Structures are given as C-alpha cells and as structure tokens.
Amino acid sequence: MPEQTDEHERAREQLRQRVVRGDSSAYEQLYHSAQGDPSRIPWADLKPNHNLTAWLDREMPGDKVGAGQRALVVGCGLGDDAEELARRGFAVTAFDISRTAIDWCKKRFRHSRVGYVVANLLEPPTAWPRSFDFVLESYTIQAMPLELRERALRQVADFVAPRGRLLIVCRARDESEPPGTLPYPLTRRELDLLWHVGLKQISFEDYVDDARDPPVRRFRVAYVR
C-alpha cells in the first residue's frame, strides 16, 4: 500500500467533508486535483488488492479461470483489480463515477481488454442488471454517505446474473459500534440485506487486515444468485 502522508490525510479530510455534504463530484475533484500523480491518491496502491488476489487464489485458482465469464468491477479507481481479473481470463467491465479516474485507467493500460466506463452506481446503464457472472465490490460502498448504503447494496446485488457470484470486501464493525467517519465500516446486519434480494451467502470472513498500518478489521463475503 502507498505510504500514508500528511498530504493523504488532508486529501481524505477534504473528501470526507464533500461526501458528508452530499457532493456527488467529490471523487472526481480528488482524482482531477492529483494531476496524474498517483501518490496523491491515498488508496492508490498501483497493484491489485491483496484481499481480492488471496481470495481468487484460494477459491478460483488458475490464470484463465474466468474464461467465458463476464465480470464487473464497482468503483474501479485506477484499474488494478480490473486488470487482475482480466489477466485471469474474465471479460471485464469496470466503472467509476470519476471521469478522470477512467481516463487515467485508459492511459495506464493502453492495450487493456477491460472496458472502462464512467458510470454512477446508483444510476447504472440499463443493460447491466443480472448480466455479470462475477461482481467485485471492494471499498466502494463504505465510501458513500450512510443514507445511500441500502440503495447501493441493492444495486450491486442486481448486477449479478443467475448462478453468478458477488464478492464484497469492506471495513467491518459490530452493530453496537458507532459508524465513525468516512470510510464507514459495514455491519453483518447491513449485509444481511443481500439475502432478501435473491443472493445466497456462501462464505463470510471477519478478519484483521494487517497489511494496513494500523491494521483494519474487514469483512470478505461471497454470494451466489
């Protein structure tokens, strides 16, 4: 992960303030202000999320395991998770609300097979519902205002095709704990909503991600339709 600096914390605080105000351009402003410098994006590792790759290595091993399957990456940022899924054989669509982030992906990966798209999770293209064999939601819903969380979870679930799978990776908290500040950890009760919209939980991991400093409690949860 990138070394966290005072500049990163200032960027996070500005982002928190914009998100709390309901500023839908908050993430676009952050990516645009970085002016092509990934060190100014606090979460930009420039490599696939280790929480994703560890799960894939365990549950879907093999470079071409995704052959013939469509995958969707929610809130793709600078594209590393999308590229990893493409490397493993998936036909990947990846979207972000920030046009600058999507343009950045296209410049980073000029010969990519990933379809990078500017889109809003809450107002996605009409062709996407029930269309993807594998959906990845990693760290996106936790970065949205609390009042939008249920709607966002329902939308993510709606992307999953029959017999398709959804993987969610997020910060975690107990129901009795306060939500704190952005990024807001999720609770098991919140994720239980996915049972009620047609998904079956096939695994639930509650663990400490010690690749972060300080370590972060996470949920990593897989579902199937």
Question: Cβ–Cβ contacts within 10 Å for residue 160, how many?
Answer: 25
Edge-first strand listing for the sheet containing 216-224: 115-118, 91-96, 70-74, 132-138, 160-171, 216-224, 200-209
Residue 182 is predicted with a pLDDT of 87
Fill in the DSSP letter of residue 192: G
Question: What is the amino acid identity at position 162?
Answer: P
The beta strands (E) that lie in the chain are given as 70-74, 91-96, 115-118, 132-138, 160-171, 200-209, 216-224
Q: Say which residue the tokens 């096939």 belong to.
A: 202
Tens of pLDDT, residue by residue, the chain (225 residues): 455 555 666 666 667 666 666 666 888 998 999 999 998 888 889 999 999 999 999 999 988 999 999 999 999 999 999 999 999 999 999 999 999 999 999 999 999 999 999 999 999 999 999 999 999 999 999 999 899 999 999 999 999 999 999 999 999 999 999 999 889 999 999 999 999 999 999 999 999 999 887 899 999 999 999
Beta bridge partners of 206: 219
The pTM assigned to this predicted structure is 0.92
Catalogue all structural domains in the chain, each as residue range(s) with its CATH number. 45-224 (3.40.50.150)
